[in-house]
């Protein structure tokens, strides 16, 4: 077992163990409202809108209280589930914290899901309501999808709350948007969130007693098998991980003055913890982005400079895109203090170049949805007797406070392995999930008792060196990492086999210059049936969220046979080997 007490090179400024406050997650928001009521909390500045959306802490507190009052009027009570199906808008934050204040559980969903994926996760989570946006783009039409799913009648949906983009548009654009089919029309059964703010009182915010082990958020993940499961993250999990992350940063942000940027989607655990929730934890300003690729990454550089952003947490592909931007030298990024990279390996050359250009202290980390998500980070502060932190090439760092990590054998998952020996990473700590929602068997498979302590078996293969720095040497066997989003072949294959012309399908990850990795499909048509790559791609685009789709027709291969095992299972490793030889 490796824990912070074992590590001689642990950052001198970081406690190895501590007591965590037994409070609901929303207490951090209430504290910021009390201490910094007039300070801006969130701002959204995008070329898609004519107006800058902005909210201070007093307004944010008021709106979340009013939303909690609305939920109470709908009969939502402690333990009920309410889904979020939104991009990084201020209303995401309002609804998220309003749901928590009502004592309910947030079900955080990717707003680009097609109807089939949305319906499946709403059914699994038993969500009673959903909050979505009325914008219609090439990538998503969340309100239209919600109405479709509701009308199919297979879910528990009782109400839909709509966030409208009209208040952020000029009057003429708002009118034209509806006329041209770029803004959804409100169904009379549904309600705009702004009407909730106008109609409900913050004084009626329900008084709910929250315990640390109550479930705050359910986020769906493929886990170690690829089948979507809802990871139950408690208030204790999320509060603990915020404290762990906050202690790690060097230089530490000053409460009430910190400025961060939300380039990561808040429906993702990495974005919600290290951007949205951490910003509120510090009572700081978080600059929101609907899409970090806006204006070919020029908008994010503009925002970093304009708002003098100090905290920047994102994924390797975004750091690479900024370093490759033709006008990078024109922007002043000197305000950046700390940055982290996660969700995929960060090349050391990228880390060094970004630190040199920005002056930021950049550290790679590791975690999973099931761990809230952060478990390891490269030190940002020096160890005792050192003048600078030790950053090892290829390492994801050392465990954050109170986090015990084992490397166990792949056969039994119980035999502990030593230095420089590869095995499965197993984690125990206050940030480890309660389990998978309504999935006791799947939970039992990944939560194991070892030496009297419960560990989460991550499914990731790794090792640690003599300094107790950890390395991830192989990912979950078949997972495909598309810009930090996890695509699982079994799920994609099941969808594609639903096409009336497809007999069987296989899916692997292949390198892609922009997103790191993308999906490649191998399709076996039904006998005596012809199917084109165009038909396959069109079907994938209708049935799968964007990151689970092949990038284009070049990533589709129609075959007369697929490599199969003795029991008829597709051998993806054979397909991978064939790709590597090309």
For the domain that residue 507 is a member of, what is the CATH number? 3.30.300.30
User: At residue 472, does pLDDT exceed 90?
Assistant: no
The reply to whether 112 falls in a domain is yes
Asked if 522 and 575 touch (Cβ cutoff 8 Å), the reply is yes
pLDDT at 567: 45
- Burial class of residue 165, CB neighbours in 10 A (0-12, 13-18, 19+): buried
> How does pLDDT run across 494-511, given as a tens digit for each residue?
789 889 999 889 999 999
In the sheet where 516-525 sits, what is the strand order? 502-512, 516-525, 556-558
Structural domain span for residue 527: 480-581
What's the rounded mean pLDDT across residues 155-165? 97
Please give the C-alpha separations between residue 508 and each of 362, 488, 549, in angstroms, as whole numbers. Answer: 31, 9, 11
pLDDT of residue 514: 82
End residue of a domain, out of 152, 186, 211: 211
| Confidence class for position 580, pLDDT limits 50, 70, 90 | confident
For residue 469, tell me if it sits in a domain. Answer: no
Q: Is the pLDDT of residue 419 over 90?
A: yes
| Residue 387 in tokens | 């003048």
What pLDDT shows up at residue 475?
A: 60
On whether residue 262 sits in a domain, the answer given is no
| Beta-bridge partner residues of 480 | 487
* Contact yes or no for 471/463 (Cβ under 8 A): yes
pLDDT of residue 569: 65
With 0-12 CB in 10 A as exposed, 13-18 as middle and 19+ as buried, what is 191?
middle
Domain boundary, last residue among 176, 211, 246: 211
| 318 vs 322: CA distance, rounded Å | 6
Alpha carbon distances (Å) from 335 to 259, 285, 380:
10, 14, 17
Q: What is the pLDDT of residues 394-416, one digit of tens each?
A: 899 999 999 999 999 987 888 99
The answer on pLDDT for 458 being more than 90 is: yes
- Asked if residue 272 has pLDDT above 90, the reply is yes
Q: How many residues does the chain have?
A: 582
Q: State residue 222's pLDDT score.
A: 65
Q: Please write the tens of the pLDDT for every residue from 229-262.
A: 999 999 999 999 999 999 999 999 999 999 999 9
Q: Is residue 257 one of the residues assigned to a domain?
A: no
Please state, in angstroms and rounded to a whole number, the distance separating the CA atoms of residues 482 and 262.
19
Q: Please name the residues in contact with 415: beta carbons below 8 A apart, sequence gap of 6 or more.
A: 408, 409
Number of domains in the chain: 2
**pLDDT value, residue 226:** 59
Q: Which residues partner with 220 through β-bridges?
A: 230
Q: Mean pLDDT in the chain?
A: 93
Nearest 5 degrees, angle CA 133-CA 314-CA 130?
20
State residue 485's pLDDT score: 85
Q: Is residue 430 included in any domain, yes or no?
A: no
Quick one: average pLDDT of 126-141?
A: 94
Residue 41 clears pLDDT 90, i.e. is over it: yes
Helices 57-73 and 90-101 cross at an angle (nearest 10°) of 50
Please compute the mean of the pLDDT values over residues 124-143 and round it to a whole number: 95
- Does pLDDT of 565 surpass 60? no
Pairing mode, if any, of strands 502-512 and 40-44? unpaired
Higher per-residue pLDDT: 318 or 573: 318
Mean pLDDT of 264-285: 96
> For residue 380, is it within any domain?
no
| Residue 291 is assigned to a structural domain of this protein | no
pLDDT at residue number 515: 82
On whether residue 248 sits in a domain, the answer given is no
Residue 442 pLDDT more than 80?
yes
Model confidence at 581: pLDDT above 80 = no
Residue 538, pLDDT > 60, answer yes
What pLDDT, on the 0 to 100 scale, is given for residue 274? 96
What integer pLDDT is reported at residue 296 of this predicted model? 93
Separation CA 537–CA 147 (nearest Å): 25
What is the model's pLDDT at position 477?
63
14 pLDDT band, cuts 50/70/90, is: very high
Tell me if 35 sits within 8 A of 283, measured CB to CB: yes
H/E stretch holding 449 reads strand 447-450
Q: Is 60 exceeded by the pLDDT of residue 264?
A: yes
Question: Considering the entire predicted model, what is its pTM?
Answer: 0.87
pLDDT of 532: 97
Higher pLDDT, 537 or 479: 537
For residues 166-172, give the mean pLDDT: 89
Contacts with 52 (C-beta within 8 Å, 6 or more apart), sequence order: 43, 44, 45
Q: Is the pLDDT of residue 138 over 90?
A: no
Backbone torsions φ then ψ of 45, nearest 5 degrees: -120, 110
Q: What pLDDT is attached to residue 179?
A: 59
**Amino acid 497: pLDDT:** 87
Which of 411-425 are b and which e, b meaning 16 or more Cβ less than 10 Å from the residue's Cβ? eebeeebeeeeebbb
- Calculate the CA 273 to chain-centre distance: 9
Of 514, 493, 515, nearest in space to 504 by CA: 493
pLDDT range class, residue 530, cuts 50, 70, 90 = very high
Name the DSSP letter for residue 524. E
Domain boundary among 172, 194, 211: 211
Q: List pLDDT tens digits, range 77-105.
A: 999 999 999 999 999 999 999 999 999 99
- Condensed to tens digits (0 to 9), the pLDDT of residues 180-207 reads 678 999 999 999 999 999 999 999 999 9
Residue 255, token pair as written in the block: 């409460």
Q: What is the CATH number of the domain that holds 75?
A: 3.40.50.980
CB 248 within 8 A of CB 400: yes
Nearest to 512 by CA among 555, 553, 574, 572: 555
3-state secondary structure at position 236: helix
Sequence-ordered list of residues with C-beta below 8 angstroms from that of 474, at least 6 positions apart, any chain:
422, 460, 461, 462
Residue with the bigger pLDDT between 364 and 572: it is 364
**Exposed e or buried b per residue across 107-133, where buried means at least 16 C-beta atoms within 10 angstroms of its C-beta:** bbbbbbbbbebbbbbbebbbbbbbbbb
Chain segment 47-72, per-residue pLDDT in tens: 999 999 999 999 999 999 999 999 99
CB atoms within 10 A of CB 103: 21
Mean pLDDT of 282-293: 96
Cα(540)–Cα(509) distance, integer angstroms: 16
Measured distance CA(24)–CA(20) in Å, rounded:
12
């Amino acid at each position: 077992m490796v824990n912070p007490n074992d590590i001689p090179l642990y950052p001198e400024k970081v406690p190895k163990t501590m007591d965590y406050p037994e409070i609901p997650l929303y207490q951090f928001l209430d504290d910021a409202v009390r201490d910094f009521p007039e300070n801006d909390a969130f701002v959204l500045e995008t070329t898609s809108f004519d107006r800058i959306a902005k909210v201070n802490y007093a307004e944010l507190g008021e709106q979340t209280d009013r939303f909690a009052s609305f939920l109470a009027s709908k009969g939502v009570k402690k333990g009920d589930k309410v889904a979020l199906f939104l991009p990084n808008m201020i209303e995401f934050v309002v609804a998220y914290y309003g749901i928590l204040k009502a004592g309910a559980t947030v079900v955080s969903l990717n707003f680009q899901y097609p109807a089939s994926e949305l319906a499946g996760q709403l059914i699994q989570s038993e969500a009673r309501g959903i909050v979505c946006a009325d914008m219609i783009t090439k990538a998503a039409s969340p309100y239209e999808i919600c109405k479709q799913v509701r009308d199919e009648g297979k879910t528990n949906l009782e109400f839909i709350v709509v966030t409208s983009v009209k208040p952020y548009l000029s009057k003429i654009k708002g009118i034209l948007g509806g006329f041209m089919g770029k803004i959804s029309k409100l169904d009379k059964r549904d309600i705009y969130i702004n009407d909730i703010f106008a109609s409900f009182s913050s004084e009626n915010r329900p008084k709910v007693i929250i315990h640390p082990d109550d479930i705050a958020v359910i986020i769906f993940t493929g886990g170690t098998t690829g089948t979507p499961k809802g990871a139950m993250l408690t208030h204790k999990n999320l509060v603990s991980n915020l404290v762990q992350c906050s202690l790690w940063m060097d230089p530490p942000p000053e409460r009430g003055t910190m400025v961060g940027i939300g380039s990561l989607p808040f429906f993702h655990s990495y974005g919600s913890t290290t951007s949205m929730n951490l910003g509120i934890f510090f009572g700081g300003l978080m600059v929101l982005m609907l899409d970090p690729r806006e204006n070919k990454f020029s908008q994010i550089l503009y925002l970093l400079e304009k708002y003098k952003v100090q905290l920047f947490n994102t994924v390797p592909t975004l750091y690479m895109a900024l370093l490759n931007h033709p006008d990078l030298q024109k922007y002043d990024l000197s305000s950046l203090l700390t940055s982290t990279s996660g969700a995929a390996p960060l090349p050391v050359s990228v880390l060094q170049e970004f630190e040199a250009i920005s002056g930021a202290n950049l550290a790679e980390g590791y975690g999973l949805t099931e761990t809230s998500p952060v478990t390891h980070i490269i030190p940002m502060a020096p160890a005792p007797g050192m003048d600078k932190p030790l950053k090892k090439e290829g390492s994801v760092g050392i465990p954050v406070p109170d986090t015990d990590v084992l490397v166990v054998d792949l056969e039994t998952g119980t035999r502990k392995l030593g230095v420089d020996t590869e095995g499965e990473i197993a984690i125990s700590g206050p940030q480890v999930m309660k389990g998978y929602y309504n999935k006791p068997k799947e939970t039992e498979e990944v939560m194991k008792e070892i030496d009297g302590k419960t560990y989460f078996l991550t499914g990731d293969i790794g090792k640690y060196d003599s300094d107790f720095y950890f390395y991830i040497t192989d990912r979950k066997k078949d997972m495909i990492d598309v810009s930090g989003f996890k695509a699982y072949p079994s799920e994609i294959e099941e969808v594609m086999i639903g096409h009336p012309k497809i007999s069987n399908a296989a899916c692997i990850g292949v390198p892609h210059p922009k997103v790191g990795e993308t999906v490649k499909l191998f399709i076996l048509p039904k006998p005596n049936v012809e199917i084109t790559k165009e038909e396959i791609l069109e079907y994938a685009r209708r049935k799968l969220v964007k990151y689970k789709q092949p990038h284009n027709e070049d990533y589709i291969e129609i075959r007369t046979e697929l490599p199969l095992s003795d029991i008829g299972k597709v051998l993806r490793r054979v397909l991978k080997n064939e790709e590597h030889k090309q």
